[in-house]
Amino acid sequence: MEFETIVVPIIVIILVYIFILIIGPLNTFRANPLVQIFFVALYSAGLYIFVVDSLQVLEEAEVNNFYIAVIWLQVFTNLYFYLYCCVSDPGKITKSNIKNALEIFNYDRIIFFPSECKTCKLPKPARSKHCSMCNRCVAMYDHHCIWFNNCMGLQNYRYFLFFLASLLFLLITASSFFLYSVFKINYMNVLSKFQSRFITDKSFSIMKEIIATTLFASPYTSSLALFLLFLVPIIAFFLVYQTRLWLIGKTSNESEKWADIEDAIHDKIGILEIIEPQNQDSDDRPKILVENISMIKNMYNYGWKKNLELLVWPPYL
């Protein structure tokens, strides 16, 4: 069997996801469980392979039951955070909590200033945004996540990061033990079959063939392990990116707004503060052209310790 055959299912899954992404929620501009269903189906397929095939491979490789229990614990932990992110309140702004929501953050008058949501007909607190997919305003809005079919905001963003972290550890642990077990039970037998060729030919081609044959000795577990390994750098990058944003006092939504400000500075249309039209004539402060984004202070960056505290213990609406 060819080595490339292992990669085919992974490519098919990626193409299916791209197809769903194109025709799904982004096309309807409304909350849609299609991608959420796809994720659950994909997760379930992985668990099925784990139960019916990978557990047997781990037992044949004499992996300690403690490590198998660790994998199960990581699965249940990750599923808990996933389900919580799906059903949790991101910080929906309503008539009953609008007063509290307005008091959490001040308007910086750079990327946030007093206004009213045209859809909800409520004042828009600083750092909030109306989600067109969920049709609601969310406090400290970060983004709408199609994987959860829910918004990530002030009240549930920590669980979103916990989900990413637990998923990353699960991917690393499971893929490592799966590949270790596959090579432990198959590699020596495969190598003996290639021994005569390996003595005279130690090129990359023969090594590739040996590795492929070893993996195909346990095709289902090997395919699952390679797919999980493929996801590791993607999830790691996303986790680092999202954590970094929070620690510097930004959300994904605010990061885009700051990017617009930086573009304005580049185009020599820099501002320090948005001044209401009725107050512009009476404002006698000297006007300074902003030449670099560093000249503007982000008032929502309280330092990484306080930003972390806001993440773990956010104020409730």
Crossing angle (nearest 10°) for helices 304-312 and 219-247: 120
**Quick one: CA dihedral 293, 298, 303, 308, positive or negative?**
negative
Question: What are the helix and strand counts (H, E) for the chain?
Answer: 12, 4
Rg (the chain; Cα; Å)? 26
Q: Is 268 in a helix, a strand, or coil?
A: coil
> Which tokens sit at 68?
């198998």
**Residue 145 a catalytic site member:** yes
Quote the CA–CA distance of 54 and 111 in Å, as a whole number. Answer: 51
CA of 177: how far to CAs of 65, 105, 180, 256, in Å? 12, 46, 5, 40
Q: What stretches of 76-228 adopt beta strand conformation (E)?
A: 129-131, 136-138, 143-145, 150-152
Q: Is 230 in a helix, a strand, or coil?
A: helix
Quote the CA–CA distance of 241 and 235 in Å, as a whole number. Answer: 10
With beta carbons less than 8 A apart as the criterion, state whether 171 and 43 touch.
no
End-to-end CA distance of the chain: 59
Residue of 85, 131, 145, 151 with catalytic role: 145
Q: Report CA dihedral (211, 214, 220, 221) to the nearest 10 degrees.
A: -90
Q: Tell me which residues are annotated as active site.
A: 145
